[in-house]
Amino acid sequence: MATQQIELYNTLTRKKEKFSPLNPPFVGMYVCGPTVYDDVHLGNCRTFISFDLICRYLVHVGYKVRYVRNITDAGHLEGDRDEGGDKFAKKAKLEQVEPMEIVQKYTVGFREVMRMFNTKAPSIEPTATGHICEQIEMTKQIMDAGLAYESNGTVYFNVEKYSQKNNYGILSNRKLEELLEGTRELEGQGDKKGRLDFALWIKAKPEHIMRWPSPWGWGFPGWHIECSAMSTKYLGATFDIHGGGMDLIATHHTNEIAQSQACSQGEPVKYWMHTNMLTVNGVRMSKSAGNGFLPLELFTGNHKLLDKGYAPMAVKFFMLQTHYRSTLDFSNEALQASEKGFERLMNAVNTLEKLKPSEKSSSDIKALCAKCYDAMNDDFNSPILLAHLFEGVKIINSINDGKEMISKEDLELLKNNFHGFIFDVLGLKEEKTTSNNDELVNNLMALILEIRNEAKAKKDFSTSDKLRDSLAKTKISIKDTKEGVTWVKEK
Ligand SMILES: [Zn+2]
């Protein structure tokens, strides 16, 4: 049985609740995974790092967790309400490859970034394309319940009819009328009966490659149905935790509840958990704002907003210093402070191994360990946990300096506590945070690019071309962009 009583914030009830799983010690947890049509962005990474932390802590206190995180590899249109083109088809056309090549490329890239962040793989990672039958079956069930209709080969969920007996806006705490007011009439959506209706199955145009046969003709599943179908398949009609970024509450998760409820007549999820968004220097991170750097850009420092690169563990440590329900603000100063903090923590872990026990302890180690658990029991509060671990760092350094003492029994306890929380729960690992080498390379590259710029300004193209070609030989490519010159080292 679990050794701790956890309280967590439930988006559905808008309050903290005592966590009590349906079938302890088992916990079923579903998290909406990435749509693999592009490089994973940092907001997604934060969500997955947060649920990795949650999963790790549940396991740490004795739960047996089945963690399902899907890969969306079909059916995701540009707009959350099924408007615009297919994200995969569009990217495939742009890169002149098959849509499944896009899926493969960005799935591999996503897993690599997750590995660099030292997150554990989920128990099951199902794909939308691998569960077309289940999605068709679920769509049929919703039609049988009279809550969906076919129109020209596309099947829509009838939100207004569903709302006669159910509360459609239950998760976002909004009334149907408010939601209707907030939705505009969209062009090319003439087949829908109601403005809030969303597609369960979408008719494929003749040129669409990723399509499957269905009772309604050739098509592909809508984005929302995949999560309902796959969570039901692997976790049952009702399960414990469903998570994702808070941007999914209003549409995707709202629709998931409606779909599952239409089939099973019961609430599909006991606890809904959502992570907050990212900002950069106080401005919301987004591609359009030009401040959306990617994980690899953050690791290499190759972005105009970054002073330098930061090791994945320093970035993870930085993220864990903010609670998952608060906005997380990136700045060079904050990242550099985290880098130092992470190094101090890791140095203390090493010092801990060298400490010699005394007759008795001068600090209350048991109380310190209990406070670490209290922090995590309070809605997985990692910043408070880290604050307590840094109290431990002070004690460790004082003992090492001969200013404090620790008993043999307390030393064992402190070691277990530190290792358990730092490595098993927070999922950190030792890693060089600043490599002198990286700094040297960055400085040299800045110098080379400056010489090349000067040569170009003087129309000395033989020098500028020579620099570019020589760099290309060492697999460094230079790109001239609107913001200036950037460089990348190919792998
Ligand atoms: Zn989902």
Q: What is the pLDDT of residues 337-347, one digit of tens each?
A: 999 999 999 99
The CA 219 to ligand 1 mean position distance, Å, reads 20
The CA 37 to ligand 1 mean position distance, Å, reads 15
Identify the helix (H) or strand (E) that includes residue 334: helix 332-354
The CA 230 to ligand 1 mean position distance, Å, reads 9
| The total number of residues written for the chain in this structure | 491
The CA 232 to ligand 1 mean position distance, Å, reads 12
The CA 32 to ligand 1 mean position distance, Å, reads 4
**Please, what's the b/e burial string for 438-451 (b: 16 or more CB within 10 A of its CB; e: otherwise)?**
beebbeebeebbee
The CA 70 to ligand 1 mean position distance, Å, reads 8
| 476 pLDDT above the threshold of 90 | no
Provide the pLDDT for residue 186.
56
Nearest to residue 215, comparing CAs of 156, 259, 260, 150?
150
The CA 99 to ligand 1 mean position distance, Å, reads 20
The CA 253 to ligand 1 mean position distance, Å, reads 7
The CA 55 to ligand 1 mean position distance, Å, reads 18
The CA 371 to ligand 1 mean position distance, Å, reads 35
User: Angle between the 332-354 and 312-320 helix axes, to the nearest 10 degrees?
Assistant: 100
The CA 9 to ligand 1 mean position distance, Å, reads 19
- The average pLDDT across 91-99 equals 84
Task: Look up residue 198 and give its two tokens.
Answer: 């969303």
Cα separation, 12 vs 9, in Å, equals 9
How many Cα neighbours within 13 Å face the side chain of 428? 29
Provide the pLDDT for residue 364.
97
The CA 279 to ligand 1 mean position distance, Å, reads 23
Angle at 388 between CA 384 and CA 389, to 5 degrees: 115
Amino acid (1-letter code) at residue 319? M
Q: What is this structure's pTM? A: 0.86
The CA 22 to ligand 1 mean position distance, Å, reads 21
The CA 132 to ligand 1 mean position distance, Å, reads 15
Provide the pLDDT for residue 190.
65
The CA 34 to ligand 1 mean position distance, Å, reads 9
- The average pLDDT across 131-152 equals 97
Lowest mean pLDDT among 272-286, 317-331, 337-351: 272-286
The CA 303 to ligand 1 mean position distance, Å, reads 31
High-pLDDT (> 90) share of the chain, %: 69
The CA 489 to ligand 1 mean position distance, Å, reads 35
Q: Are 298 and 334 in contact (CB under 8 A)?
A: no
- The average pLDDT across 359-379 equals 97
The CA 223 to ligand 1 mean position distance, Å, reads 8
Cα separation, 200 vs 355, in Å, equals 61
The CA 389 to ligand 1 mean position distance, Å, reads 35
Q: Are 102 and 88 in contact (CB under 8 A)?
A: yes
383 vs 87, more confident: 383
| 51 pLDDT above the threshold of 70 | yes
The CA 77 to ligand 1 mean position distance, Å, reads 13
The CA 31 to ligand 1 mean position distance, Å, reads 7
The CA 243 to ligand 1 mean position distance, Å, reads 9
**Average pLDDT of every residue of the chain:** 91
417 vs 182, more confident: 417
